[in-house]
Structures are given as structure tokens and as C-alpha cells.
Amino acid sequence: MRPLVTLFIPLLVATTFIGCGSDDTPEVPSQPTPVAITVSFSDTLNVNGARTHQFNVERAGTVSAQVKALSDQAATIGVNLGTFNGSTCAILIAKSDAVLNTTVTGTAQSSGQFCVWVQDVGKLTAGLDYTIDVTHF
């Protein structure tokens, strides 16, 4: 009888612990939802001219530039997104036929200094007032 008791007790203990556990899924903290930042740049674009506007991106994500206002609503301009090195805008995405409400969109792979470069593409006959909205995270 003794060998049977010796075998039975460890088996009883093992099956008792198998039933212990938790069905609760551990809670994983969620990342906060990034908040979009919109910056408006307004200026005057001269015939054959260009303007650079720089901005800082705080985190990777979508970057867009939209033509929000033009003093000549039929005007066509160039709207370009790029990285800013402190003195120049290195163009990464170019749109040479932007009109009112045109949006240029790209993705910032990391935080850093970026720029929107607005230019006359040879179609202006007089100065043009404009507003560009840049949205990023």
C-alpha cells in the first residue's frame, strides 16, 4: 500500500497546480494618440521667385502641405516638401502644378527640420499672395 500512496500524493499535488492560473489577459499600456499640428505660412510670391518656410516635426508620420489661399485663384504654383539643413530646403516631394486646395503629402521617417518650398513655375505675371497650411505630427 505504501508504494501506491507514494505515487498518489505527488500525482494529486501536480493536478492541483495544473488547475491554478489566470484567464485574465495582461493589460498592455497603449501609446497616446498623436496630435496633428497645423502651421499656416502666408507670404507673397514674386514673378520667378520662391519662398522657403521651415518647420520642426516632433515625431514620424504624415506631413502634408495644402494651398489654402491664393490672391489669384486661377494661379498655378510649385509646392514642394523637403528637409531643411539650416540654409536650404532639400526637395523630396515636388508638385509643379499646384492650384488652390492642392495637397502634397509625404511621410517623415523621424523627427527633424523640414520645409515647404513655394515657387513660381513660370506662370505668374504679377506677385501672388498665398497661404499654405502644413500639417504634421
Task: For each of the domains in the chain, give its residue range(s) and CATH number, in order of start.
Answer: 37-136 (2.60.120.380)
Overall average pLDDT of the 132-136 stretch: 98
Residue with cell 502651421: 39
Any bridge partners for residue 51, and if so which? 118
Question: How much is the CA Rg of the chain, to the nearest whole Å?
Answer: 30
Residues linked to residue 136 through DSSP beta bridges, in sequence order: 37
Q: Is residue 26's pLDDT more than 90?
A: no
C-alpha span between 64 and 87 (Å, rounded):
21
Report the range out of 8-12, 24-28, 105-109 with the highest average pLDDT.
105-109
Indicate the length of the chain as a whole number.
Answer: 137
Task: State percent of the chain over pLDDT 70.
Answer: 82
pTM above threshold 0.85: no
Q: Mean pLDDT across the chain, nearest whole number?
A: 89
